[in-house]
Structure formats: C-alpha cells, structure tokens
Chain A
Amino acid sequence: MSDSDDISKLDHVDMSVRELLTEMKDTSEIIVDLAYASLMYNSENMAEKVRDLEEEMDDLKFAIRYKALLSSRTKEDARQLSGLLEVASAADRISNAASDIVSLLRFPPEKRPLITDVLLESDERIRMVRVKSESTMVGYTIGKLAIEANTGCKVIAIKNRHGWTYDPEDDMKIRAGDDLVVRGTDDGADLLTEYAYGKKDWDFETEELTEEEIEEEAEADQRVEEELSEELRGDDDE
C-alpha cells in the first residue's frame, strides 16, 4: 500500500474511535486535577506531566479525526461523527487549559495565594496523604483496595522512593511511606487519612460473590440503567 508510510507517522491509529475517545475523556479529567495539584504543591514535576499529557492529547486528537473520517460512509455517518469530533475537540481544549494553568508555576507561590486558598475550599479538593507503615493498606494494590469506591477519593498521583506515578493503574501496590495525591470530598480524605495512618483498619469487602452473581447483578443494573435513561428521556418530550 502506497499510503501505509503516511499512516505509520500517526500515533494511536491502531486504537478504535471508542478507545481513543475514552482515553481523551480520561485524560481531560486527570490533567485538570494534576494541573491544580501542581500549583498547590508547587511541583514542576507534575507540571511536566501535564505538558506531556497535553502533547499526548494532540496525538489522540489527530488519530481520532483520521479514524472518524475513514469510517464515514454516508451523510448520517458524517452527521453523527461531526458531533463526536466536537466532543473530542472539547476534551483537547480542556487539556490546553490545564497546560495554561501550569504555566502559572513560573510565578512565585507567594504571588498566587488566592489559588491555593480556593483549591483548599473546593467541593472536591486535592489533598496529599502519607501512608504510614502501620496502615493496613500497605502491600495491597489500588484495585484490591478499591480506594475510590471505599472513600470517594480518586488517587491522581503517587510519590514513592522511585519518584512520581501519575494516574496510577489498579495494579499499583501501596507501600509504607508513599504519598498519595487524591481528589475527593473533605470527609472522604479524612477517612482515607485514618486508614493511611493505621488508625482504622481497611474494610475489605467480605462477601465474596461468584463470577456468575457479579455478572447477574451487572446485567440487572444495566437493565435499570436503561429504564431510568428512558424515564429521563421520556419526560424530555413532554
């Protein structure tokens, strides 16, 4: 194929439109949290990650345009894809805004006290929590602990002796001495702190469901989701 060389220059073209858009949405959310956190903790390292994510977002943007245009066959395709590409572009704009936010790091912290105060007062705020050696969280992965499900706090970054990990995966293990940067409500962060300091034992889900039971519940939940979706939509037409 004569055009295969051109395609190889585009990153991420092996991903589907669905995967690309999911990645763009996830990135648009984590990048804003990281941008605010970098101002709060005056962290150039976090700012660097924000800029990396922003570049990554540009690659994703081109890849999704390319894939969407390739898949468009009819006028109806084009109509639907125009909406989809607008959403992708919005995610990209959010990441650009995040990258602008971290550019404020070049000003000294004492010149931006308002920002820190505002970040400390938000509905969902960013906090740093250190895991002590007596914590029952130590040795378990983020996924096993289901930290966000159990505390409402999303782990946006972890600092350990190897350095920073941003947007950590579920299989990342929590170790004594780790600093967790989390986003959540105040009482959620307080609860997480109690666990992290070993003042409270982690409450592991005790009831073990079989895979079948989990699947059945997921299917039932999906049906409810569809019914309620209809209920929301149905009322729209009135």
Chain B
Amino acid sequence: MKSKLEAMFLELKDTSEMMVDLAYSSLLYDNVEIAEEVIALNDRMEELSERIQDEVAQVSRAMPDEVARAVITVRLMDSILEIAEAAKSVADVVVRGLAEHPVLALSIRDSDTTICLAKVAPDSILAGKTLGEMSLATNSGMFLLAIRREDDYIFGPGWNSRLESGDILIAKGPEDAVPYFKDLADGTRSEF
C-alpha cells in the first residue's frame, strides 16, 4: 500500500515536471494563461511541501529510526521545489511580457524534446477516445501536456481524459514524431 507520504511526494515530483513542460510551452506560444497555470501550480507545490513536512515530522516522532530518511526526503523535496521555482521564473517571463525574443521559440523548437500543437478533427482516430485506451504516448511518441477545449484548458491530462473533436492538443516529444502525431489528429492517418 502506498503511504500518505509517498502519494504526496509522487504528486510533488510529477507536478514539478509538468510545470517545467508547461513553462516551456507558455514560452513557445507566448501564452499568459498557461504561464498563470504554472504559477498557480507553484502555489500548490508550496502547500504540498508544508503538508509533507508535517507528515515527515509526525512519522519521525513515532519512529526515531526514520529520522535519517526524513532528512533525505526533505532534502530531495527542496531540490524538487527548486525545479518548480525555476519553472515559475520562466512563466514569470511570459506574464511580464518579456517572452518576445524570437530565439526563445526557436530554441525550444530546436530542442531534442520539442513541443507542438495539433487540432483534433471530427474524423480523427483520436476523437472520442481516452488517452489510456489509445496509449497515445506510446503509439505516437508524443506526450500530452495540455488540452485546449473551447475556452478552457485541461492541464496534465490523465489516462481517463477523453479527447474531443475540436480540441487543441499541446504535446511534447521528439521532432521525428511530430508529423505522424499531426496526421493522427487531423485525420490524414486513420490507424496507429
């Protein structure tokens, strides 16, 4: 069974990674809404870190043998929070309107891991299916960071998230997976 601490820590780590990905996305598309989500996630990280500290303190009080583990846990937590803070700084550049330098977008596109957009067409194989049943990341090589649906965003979609026609997908992955991914979304390719 997963302990409470483990579950919180898992959320901390996954959120920090999502924040970095979303921060680079906000930079690439000079998009304030995504940047603001990163900043909101950072606030959640701070709350989460306080709860982790409380839990660690409690566990160590109950089991003095756990103190060394507690110290290590808190140190790792600090490193993860530092990564989240760095993501927040990137988002802050976007919010302040300082993300206009063309090199910012170019260097994200040039990266080993690039970011791209794709719109789900009505006849796309992706429409109406959940990410889990498609194993989208495995089958396309692209990992979904966010879905733009009408005026809302779904950040960090999970296995149960269902894609709909008209969704704009923000995904990260290798450059050579991008054409295939876009073909799946626009209906050009009708099977995986």
Q: Which residues of A contact B (CB under 8 A)?
A: 17-19, 21-22, 25-26, 28-30, 32, 79-84, 86-87, 89-91, 93-94, 96-98, 100-101, 104, 107, 111-115, 117-119, 121-124, 146, 148-152, 154, 167, 184-185, 187-188, 191, 217-218, 221, 224-225, 228-229, 231-233, 235-236, 238
Contacts and interface: CB of A to CB of B under 8 A. Distances in A.
A90 B20 CA distance: 10
| Chain A interface mostly | helix
27 contacts: A21-B103, A21-B107, A22-B106, A29-B112, A32-B83, A83-B93, A84-B104, A87-B89, A87-B90, A93-B82, A98-B79, A100-B79, A104-B76, A112-B73, A113-B69, A118-B6, A146-B141, A149-B176, A150-B141, A152-B137, A152-B138, A185-B138, A188-B135, A221-B179, A221-B182, A224-B182, A228-B119
A107 B72 contact: yes
B75 interface: yes
Contacts of B176: 146, 148-149
| Chain B interface mostly | helix
Nearest to B88: A90
Interface magnitude class on chain B: 35 or more
B117 interface: yes
Contacts of A233: 29-31
Nearest to A117: B6
Given A82-B98, A218-B179, A232-B148, A148 B173 contact: yes
A206 to B, nearest CB: 13
Contacts of B6: 114, 117-118, 121
A217 B111 CA distance: 20
